[in-house]
Amino acid sequence: MRALTFQAADDQGFFGYLLILRKRVFTILVVVVVAVVAVLGIDLLRTNTYVATASLQLLGQNVSQYNGVLELTSQDIVTDIELIRSPALQSLASKQLGSPVPIPAVAQVGLTTVLTIAVSSPDPHFAADAANAIANSYVTYTEDRYAGQVAEQESILEKRRQELIAQINDIETQIAANKPTNPSNTTLNTQLQNYAAQLQTVNTTLTQLQLDQTQVRSGAIVIGNATVPTSPSSPKPIVDASVAGLIGILIGIGVALGLDYFDDRVDDRDELTKITGGMHILGEIPFFEKSEVDGSAKIVAVEHPRSKAAEAYRALRTSVQFLQLDSEQALIVQFTSPLEGEGKTTTTIDLAATMAQGGVKVALVGCDLRRPQLSKFFNWENEVGLSSYLSGSANLTDIVKSPEGLPNLTVVDSGVIPPNPSELLSSPRLRRLLVELAKTHDTVIVDSPPLLPVTDALVIAQVVDAVVLIVRSEVTRGRSITRALESLGNINVPVVGLVYNAVKTNRKGYGKYGYGRGYGYRYGSYSAYVQPSGKAKEQ
């Protein structure tokens, strides 16, 4: 379902992608660093390799009777390259060098008949010796090959020459024995002339072969001997690191765009609006850290009323009060979120405290019977509460509490954790409790469990007047918001708005307490308070 950020990049074009890359620059840097370090590590473990190169100029050994030595064709050159790399040449070069030589890298220089023979070895001297041995072996091999071919032809021609001489001698003997008037002399003279012509051709060919062997002794000449290399051809850390860095950047960009495409965490107000179909955002709470002093969490709206967070809760208070302008009855509003850790309890406590400070009579009901948190903020025992009332072991007067310093605030804590939270919350007594509190208060705020992990929040939603969904910036995922809204829509529960929590900002001075001692905090989804001696923690 994503990725609205990615979609925004599509809408904005090139600059949209730049924003994504800027947001994911750390990811890109990590990929680049990993790539460079990996390559350098591999280079460190690799053995230095030296390359020595010898050069050959190929010569044609194809001879025509009328045109002399024929030029080499491209097919001849390819054949010669394979010959240089053949086991026969390797064996000959190894025998010459007295040590096995590796298969060389052979390449044609442009469109010329010049070939380069490159040999790689950890030993620079061996690399040079092996390259020269292969080049010289090729010269020797082609010379011997051509000499062998000539000798074979000479042997065949010499045999034919002796046959012709014998035939000529036989015919001459027959003619000499016949009388001059013998009729067969004519036929014998014709045969004699024919054999004499053939003998002339054979003698001419033998002479030409001997001449060709003198002119074309080998298939190549060495035009450049290999010298001992002074520096390794590999590894080359600087070059390798540069290439790895470039590849790392490309991979990092791909990873960044991929992560952004599949990352549907809400990190922008506009993105939240798109996901929820334009649902009203009642308030934006800045991100800040929370601390615990002596095991009790503090309420920032009470402890630091001049902070930016307190100002945000006052703005949220105004938005909630507007929800009930047209109603003469107290509003029973449930605050929940898609998943855990998105700021429900902190938001409800600080909102209730802020409303109480503004003269509004407010009741705060802790309906989270699985992981209750209210008692930590008020520093009291959580032995009697909502679970006691719902189970019938306590009445309303037994479970209501009034925090010190907040006379307009009434709190009903969750009580001991029961074995059957969903069944207790389904009891009609929950609705009766909320209605009774609404009779004596201006607003009833319900702190409930998250929507998606358990059904408790949906059970509570059916007995309240309105639901407010809390979304934590850079934590809550778009798919979770959609599922949460669908769950509430399936039971026709009105979601009156959103609270956008843990909003981070880089504006200068934003996120500092405004009073004298300058208590610093980062904007966060959980209400928090930092004393000078307190140690900041995430809630």
Distance CA(362)–CA(385), nearest Å, equals 17
Domains defined for the chain, CATH in brackets: 4-46+235-262 (no CATH), 50-224 (3.30.70.1130), 269-531 (3.40.50.300)
β partners of residue 118: 53, 105
Residue 533 has pLDDT above 80, yes or no: no
Distances (CA, A) of 486 to 483, 491, 493: 5, 9, 10
* pLDDT tens, position by position, 126-151: 999 999 999 999 998 988 887 777 77
Q: If you average pLDDT over every residue of the chain, what do you get?
A: 84
Residue 215: pLDDT band (50, 70, 90) is low
Mean local confidence (pLDDT), 94-104: 92
* pLDDT tens, position by position, 388-436: 999 999 999 999 999 988 999 999 999 999 999 999 999 999 999 999 9
Q: Looking at per-residue confidence, does 212 or 299 come out higher?
A: 299
Residue carrying the six token digits 């009790």: 296
Residue 490 has pLDDT above 90, yes or no: yes
Distance CA(130)–CA(125), nearest Å, equals 9
Distance CA(256)–CA(268), nearest Å, equals 18
Q: Which amino acid is present at 128?
A: A
Burial of 240 (0-12, 13-18, 19+ CB in 10 A): middle
Residue 69: pLDDT band (50, 70, 90) is low
Q: Looking at per-residue confidence, does 214 or 276 come out higher?
A: 276
Distance CA(117)–CA(106), nearest Å, equals 5
Highest average pLDDT, of 23-27, 147-151, 459-463, comes from: 459-463
117-128 b/e with 16+ CB inside 10 Å = b? Answer: bbbbbeebebbb
Predicted pLDDT of residue 439: 94
Burial of 176 (0-12, 13-18, 19+ CB in 10 A): exposed
Residue 338 has pLDDT above 80, yes or no: yes
Q: Give all strands of the β-sheet with 220-224 in edge-to-edge order.
A: 105-108, 114-121, 50-58, 220-224
409-442 b/e with 16+ CB inside 10 Å = b? Answer: bbbbbbbbebeebeebbbbebbeebbeebbeebb
Report the 3 state secondary structure along 34-94.
Answer: HHHHHHHHHHHHCCCEEEEEEEEEECCCCEECCCEECCCCHHHHHHHHHHHCCHHHHHHHH
Distances (CA, A) of 17 to 294, 361, 445, 514: 48, 50, 42, 37
Helix (H) or strand (E) holding 376: helix 374-378
Residue 514: pLDDT band (50, 70, 90) is very low
Q: 99 near 93, Cβ under 8 Å? A: no
Residue 209 has pLDDT above 90, yes or no: no
Structure tokens at 95: 């025998």
Q: 367 near 386, Cβ under 8 Å? A: yes
In 3D, which of 59, 63, 60 has the Cα closest to residue 150? 63
Burial of 188 (0-12, 13-18, 19+ CB in 10 A): middle
Residue 64 has pLDDT above 60, yes or no: no
In 3D, which of 60, 103, 110 has the Cα closest to residue 83? 103
Q: 442 near 359, Cβ under 8 Å? A: no
β partners of residue 108: 115
Distance CA(396)–CA(284), nearest Å, equals 34
Predicted pLDDT of residue 20: 79
Distances (CA, A) of 170 to 68, 167, 174, 198: 37, 5, 6, 15
Q: 107 near 119, Cβ under 8 Å? A: no
Q: 340 near 470, Cβ under 8 Å? A: no
Distances (CA, A) of 103 to 117, 135, 137, 218, 518: 10, 12, 13, 22, 75
Residue 4 has pLDDT above 50, yes or no: no
Predicted pLDDT of residue 361: 96
In 3D, which of 288, 299, 291 has the Cα closest to residue 377? 299
Distance CA(313)–CA(358), nearest Å, equals 12
* pLDDT tens, position by position, 106-117: 999 999 999 999
Measured in Å, how far apart are the chain's first and last C-alpha atoms? 29
Q: 280 near 495, Cβ under 8 Å? A: no
Highest average pLDDT, of 64-68, 96-100, 175-179, 431-435, comes from: 431-435
DSSP E strands, 70-225:
105-108, 114-121, 220-224
Distance CA(108)–CA(114), nearest Å, equals 6
Residue carrying the six token digits 């001449």: 211
Q: Which of 18-32, 242-256, 291-305, 478-492 has the lowest mean pLDDT?
A: 291-305
Q: CA angle at residue 179 from 175 to 180, to 5 degrees?
A: 80
Distance CA(214)–CA(154), nearest Å, equals 14
* CA 388 centroid distance within chain: 53
Q: Looking at per-residue confidence, does 319 or 2 come out higher?
A: 319
Please count the other Cβ atoms lying within 10 Å of the Cβ belonging to residue 69. Answer: 14
In 3D, which of 296, 319, 320, 440 has the Cα closest to residue 375? 296
Distance CA(370)–CA(379), nearest Å, equals 19
Sign of the CA dihedral running 461, 464, 465, 470: negative
